[in-house]
Structure 1
Amino acid sequence: MFSSSIRQCRNALFLSMPLLGGCVTVPSFKPACTAVSITAPPAAPISTLRQSRYTLVELRPDRGQEDLQHQIIDLRIPATAATTVGDAMRYVLRHSGYQLCEGDPTPASLWALPLPAAHLQLGPLPLNQTLQLLAGTVWRLSVDERARQVCFIAVPLAGEAQS
């Protein structure tokens, strides 16, 4: 008897819940600011070439083609082709687009030096670093871009007087 009255109250409560919930009004939501469409400026088209199914290659010159001093040199100088530093420099420069400035008598002593065996294998290094490596630290690389000539200037040593 007690349980039947509880059931009746429970059923009445369950039936009244949807009625009470139906009387509640939900406030409408209004956004504080409106959405603004931002579009990026159109980017310049990039020239590409499809190399394979999933690979696109950007069409542009590499750094060594734009700046010849940064072309990568990786070569083995034949012992018969170069016995002096001057011969090795001419061998390195043969396809680079540059030539040695041989009219200057100052680096003549550099050209005549024997080529160390450690310099028979060079690279991979940029051209300007390869030439500086062959010359050594007492010479400074100087490049005339108009004439595409490579020269070397003697660096005064600490004990030498400047002329």
Structure 2
Amino acid sequence: MRDTNPNRHGVAGCCLLLVAALTGGCTTQASVPASPPPSGLAAEFEHPAGWPPEPDVIPVMRYGRYTLVELAPSLAQRDLLRQVVNVSIPQKQSATVGDALGHILKRSGYQLCSGSDVPALHGLPLPAPHHRLGPIILRDALLTLAGPAWDLVVDDGARRVCFVRVAPPVPDPIDVATLRDPDTQPPPAASAIIRKSLP
């Protein structure tokens, strides 16, 4: 029996041509210009002869079916002051800032140092909002407890945390006469200054 469909050979030819074009497009390669090799003594120390440079690879391990875990320390493990803490200071009648600092640093890897200004900070009463802190970064928790009058100094070698008092601003002298009741007349010295400045 003879094939009477004249389009059969034409369709098969088009399909064959399409498959050839698609597979031919997959085999083309773009030419990448080669970088010039390093010269001199520096070339010997960069990479041994014939060794390609190693890419920056982060080692990972499969943990479960769909999870890859990086085999590198986290930021909080490398810099202990960046660990996140969430603490509740035990409620006591006379809780102090020193008690709270000791409680926060208990499992952090750091300890408080002793200095000349430290008893002044440690003896301060603990404000009510500071009985619960977190989640917060350890450095920020320490600075929050100490307040703006204290700077944090860290000795990473000994893992000690110290606080140094910031130089207090020089207060303006307060005139007792200006603390009078606002409904009364200003003191005579102030009224003389006001009269001199007015035209």
Residue 92 (structure 2) pairs with residue 92 (structure 1):
no
User: What fraction of aligned residue pairs are identical, expressed as a percent?
Assistant: 44
Gapped regions of structure 1 (runs ≥ 5): 1-33
**Is residue 146 from structure 1 mapped to residue 146 from structure 2 by the alignment?**
no
Partner of 1:114 in structure 2?
125
Bigger Cα Rg: 1
Residue aligning to 2:64: 52
Match of 2:31 in 1: 36
CA contact (8 A) 1:81 1:87 kept: no
1:88–1:125 distance in 2 versus 1, CA, 3 Å? same
Q: What is the TM-score of this pair, normalised by structure 1?
A: 0.69
Output the CA distance in 2 between the equivalents of 1:75 and 1:51: 30
Taking the aligned partners of 1:64 and 1:148, their CA distance within structure 2 comes to 15
Distance in 1, Cα, partners of 2:131 & 2:84:
16
The Cα offsets for residues 75-100 of structure 1, whole Å up to 9 and x where unpaired, read as: 11111497100010000001111111
1:125 to 127, 130, 136: 136
Deviations 1:78-127 (A, max 9, x none): 1149710001000000111111112x121211100111110111111111
Unmatched runs of 5 consecutive residues or more in structure 2: 1-28, 35-51, 172-199
Q: How many residue pairs are counted as aligned between the two chains?
A: 126
**Cα gap change, 1:158 to 1:111, in 2 (>3 Å):** same
Measured in 1, the distance between the counterparts of 2:162 and 2:131 equals 21
Q: Report whether the alignment pairs 1:62 with 2:57.
A: no
Specify the code of the residue in structure 2 equivalent to 1:36.
S
Question: Distance in 2 between the 1:82 and 1:150 partners?
Answer: 23
Higher RCO by CA contacts (8 Å cutoff, separation 6 or greater): 1
User: TM-score by structure 2 length?
Assistant: 0.57
> What is the aligned partner in structure 1 of residue 8 from structure 2?
none
